[in-house]
């Protein structure tokens, strides 16, 4: 089953926070089997703004270049994905950006990799792999 990263999971990995080892293991398995993890460009944008806010633009750019080497396919948002995310947001108490990870998981019949407790509200809608 395809694994969808949300911003929380990638930030855990980058900052070596609790859950780091589980995300690292997913990257290793993905590289070994040639099946990249996936992430919506909205969720990547969330990571990027957090990096800028916490570390400044130059460091964010440096980290971005490192992220580009990870076994992740960044999925552009189209109208279908945006509509699905909007529908989730309309009926669930969860951030709009997180709705894109959930919508991508539904679209690709995958599972969201996260430690963000907001996803508890979506467990009936999408499978969640908890890293913490």
pLDDT digits (tens, 9 = 90+) for 13-71: 999 999 999 999 999 999 999 999 999 999 999 999 999 999 999 999 999 999 999 99
Report the pLDDT value the prediction gives residue 55, as an integer from 0 to 100: 97
Task: Count the Cβ atoms, other than its own, within 10 Å of residue 17.
Answer: 14
Contact 70, 26 (CB under 8 A): no
Assigned token pair, 80: 């279908």
Return the CATH number of the domain spanning residue range 3-130: 3.40.50.1010
Q: What is the mean pLDDT of residues 68-97?
A: 97
Report the pLDDT value the prediction gives residue 27, as an integer from 0 to 100: 98
Q: What is the mean pLDDT of residues 63-89?
A: 98
In eight-state DSSP terms, residue 18 is T
Residue 114, strand partner residues: 130
**77 vs 1, 73, 111, CA distance in Å?**
21, 13, 18
Report the pLDDT value the prediction gives residue 17, as an integer from 0 to 100: 97
């Amino acid at each position: 089953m395809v694994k969808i990263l949300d911003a929380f999971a990638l930030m855990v990995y980058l900052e070596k926070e609790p859950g780091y080892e589980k995300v690292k293991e997913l990257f290793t398995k993905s590289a070994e089997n040639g099946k990249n993890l996936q992430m919506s460009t909205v969720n990547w944008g969330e990571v990027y703004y957090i990096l800028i806010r916490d570390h400044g633009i130059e460091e964010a750019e440096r980290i971005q270049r490192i992220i580009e080497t990870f076994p992740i396919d960044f999925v552009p948002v189209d109208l279908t994905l945006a509509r699905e995310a909007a529908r989730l947001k309309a009926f669930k108490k969860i951030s709009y950006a997180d709705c894109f990870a959930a919508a991508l998981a539904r679209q690709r019949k995958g599972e969201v990799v996260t430690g963000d407790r907001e996803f508890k509200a979506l467990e009936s809608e999408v499978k969640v792999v908890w890293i913490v």
